[in-house]
Structure 1
């Protein structure tokens, strides 16, 4: 923890938080890096977001929809607000030596720096890990790129959708080629950006923990590609075991049957019947007990082999009643299932409301800003969602004035 970070937490809350006293410089833009630093801010870190003067993070303009001030002079996209809660905004021009020097001074007084510039870009500004760690050996420096700091693709730009294509995710997402609407699909949300943000946050926390023993920071090399390929997990493990490439199966689980969406009278229901006992109970409630006794479906392995014939009979049974009818009966028997809901239905869901997953933060410029809150539930130190994303450059003067004061304290003769 830096002394400067301890004095300038920026949170304004008296209740101790897990990341109190940790200062984070956020040079990242769009989603992966900002998602990481928002997670740290939610638990007390003083996150200073460094943005370009006059423009800021590109995602401020990624709309509609936008939040707008009452006078119409300010606006910010809902996209930006989703990943920038609880931060302070400081405008610095990296093409200006004076501003670069200010950034170096901030790095000297910080614990963590997160950036997502192309590999090698910050070196020409004297803001790379080698330069800044020489000034502050305790600095944890996290670089997030599309393909990593090294390797044949290191110089390539990388967005989530591109990485899903190159990294194999799209090849296993969507319907088979011979089905209507079949072909590779990207996921409905930028899942690789979000996962990379979580990985980055975990890496930062581990590096800070290790620093307690060594007294030294280190460089974290996070890439969307690495995260994407590692996320192939069980599919890659299956391929490595047998050499058979996984196929697109739509909503169907490749190794569990029944594990698929079924159509009810009023909409789709997702099933995941993970063992033989659950399968027997399912057949009983569907009035298909003969299937439970059929030796062709006695085990999951056999059900996978005979899935087409089996699922045809199960689908026919589900069509006759509503989702709620089946939910009540199947859940009463601990048979895993759930309705396929829209985003609107999810946000109105009583369980989601009970878990307080929507964070509302008052803002003097834009009014109330709502976005998804932290998924972490900690009994003594819960997340703090009190400060909305800020207006571009809102804290520039205060932060730079603090730097000037620090210079005077360290060198009184400079007065």
Structure 2
């Protein structure tokens, strides 16, 4: 079988936690050879659970497995001359280097982009940090540490998430890490494409703050065009109606039919031709102005039907879906048909556990994760032999890896 679309691309991965490893996980899924360079103590995420009973004591938990699958691990102590020299050798033969250290760490180690690119002009050097790198614009928060929660708060998500009269609420998934990581993967592949013609790499920088602001693009144009400051509106949309989460007899239903034709079809399906023919509800703009009436009418119908009944009637006719938990999701035939659950072995347990699959689908170069995450330094001997490092470094305190 043909390898993934990035087969033949070598990535030196210095990242830890979530944003950076998510970037390099995407590249590994796409076929790149990702060499995860870890400090003697390993990536801090190795210790995060859930850790199954019987797990190899030097293995990892589900968190690490999910975003480090398909990579090779080698331990280097970058604070030593030998470790830094080996990293420089790795980078000299690489297509990409990715790091998410605090701004200035690589410079203090003598491993800056400028230094490494002198040896390897085609190197794509990529970073993801809370507030970016000064090469792209010096943020006043440059040296502030950042996590998903902080970035969701600062860049707009929490300002528009929650009930109208309630406290701010974070989005459940770690989008403050995952979306910037995804954006960086796009930046890396774009730089690789450009380098095919120019023969030169470049510095690629994503700030978590910037990525989440881009994700919240709606609030920017709303504020610019109208002067408004959008706030939380629960599950409603400020510009579309109906666009709601409505109750069912056994749960909740997401229902969106703002298009006027879809609205009329919805009214017919639920036998509410009075709503269809009401001139005060004929357009999306009018329905937005009467959103409470629209919600009450729809909720009155959905609340006396089960989720299955609603989906049987409306599915394929108007945009509709049940609010599901993960147990329902893993049983969904769509998920199986699209290979969105991948089973990987977990060292020491004799068992396989599921992680989320790869949503990118290719007709000729499939990108399907098949290899588990590596043990710490699992590939160290072969890598050290290849690059001339005689032995693994002993345990020491790991370098500053805060973002």
TM-score range, shorter chain: over 0.9
Corresponding position of 1:336: 319
TM-score, normalised with respect to structure 2: 0.92
Matches within 5 A, 1:32-51: 32-51=19-38
* 4+ residue segments displaced more than 4 Å: none
For the residue of structure 2 that corresponds to 1:370, the secondary structure is strand
Q: Secondary structure at the match of 1:86?
A: coil
Could you say if the C-alpha distance between residues 131 and 68 of structure 1 is closer, same or farther in structure 2, counting changes exceeding 3 Å?
Answer: farther
Cα pair distance change 1:67/1:389, threshold 3 Å: farther
Out of 148, 153, 174, the residue aligned to residue 165 of structure 1 is: 153
Counterparts in 2 of 1:338-353, with a 5 A limit? 338-353=321-336
CA–CA separation in structure 2 for the residues paired with 1:217 and 1:187 = 35
Distance 2:71 2:202 in 1: 23
Cross-structure match for 2:392: none
Tell whether the 8 Å contact from 1:69 to 1:75 is kept in structure 2 after alignment.
no
Shift of 1:393: 0.8
Question: Equivalent residue for 1:357?
Answer: 340
Distance between the aligned counterparts of 1:381 and 1:183, measured in 2?
Answer: 46
Per-residue deviation, 1:365: 3.8
SS at match of 1:260: strand
Aligned equivalent of 1:15: 2
Q: Mean Cα displacement is larger for which, 159-168 or 355-364?
A: 355-364
Stretches of structure 1 lacking an aligned partner (at least 5 in a row): 1-13, 406-415
Unpaired runs of 5+ residues, structure 2, are: 390-403
Is the contact between residue 131 and residue 141 of structure 2 (CA under 8 Å) also seen in structure 1? yes
Q: State whether structure 2 residue 69 is matched by structure 1 residue 85.
A: yes
Question: Residues 161-215 of structure 1: CA distance to partner in whole angstroms, max 9, x if unpaired?
Answer: 10001111101011112xxxx2111100101211111111111111011111111
Tell me by how many angstroms 1:75 deviates.
Answer: 3.6
Asked if the contact 1:33/1:197 (under 8 Å) is kept, the reply is: yes
* Counterpart selection for 1:106 from 64, 68, 90: 90
Q: How does 1:10-409 map to 2 (within 5 A)?
A: 15-53=2-40, 55-63=41-49, 65-67=50-52, 69=54, 73-149=57-133, 150-177=138-165, 182-332=166-316, 334-362=317-345, 365-367=348-350, 368-404=352-388
**Contact map agreement 2:345 2:372 (CA 8 A) in 1:** yes
**Contact residue 5 and residue 366 of structure 2 kept, 8 A:** no
Q: Which has the higher contact order (CA 8 A, sep 6+)?
A: 2
Residues in 2 aligned to 1:21 and 1:381: alpha-carbon distance in whole angstroms: 13
> In structure 2, how many angstroms separate the alpha carbons of the residues matched to 1:384 and 1:329?
35
* CA offsets 1:349-369 (integer angstroms, 9 cap, x no match): 111122111111235544324
**Alpha-carbon distance between aligned partners in 2 of 1:29 and 1:316, rounded to the nearest angstrom:** 49
Once superposed, what is the RMSD of the aligned Cα atoms? 1.6
Distance 1:257 1:67 in 2: 45
| TM-score of the superposed pair, with normalisation by structure 1 | 0.90
**8 Å contact kept, 1:30–1:59:** yes
Partner of 2:315, secondary structure, is: helix
Q: Give CA-to-partner distance per residue, 1:12-33, whole Å, 9 cap, x none.
A: xx63332122110000111111
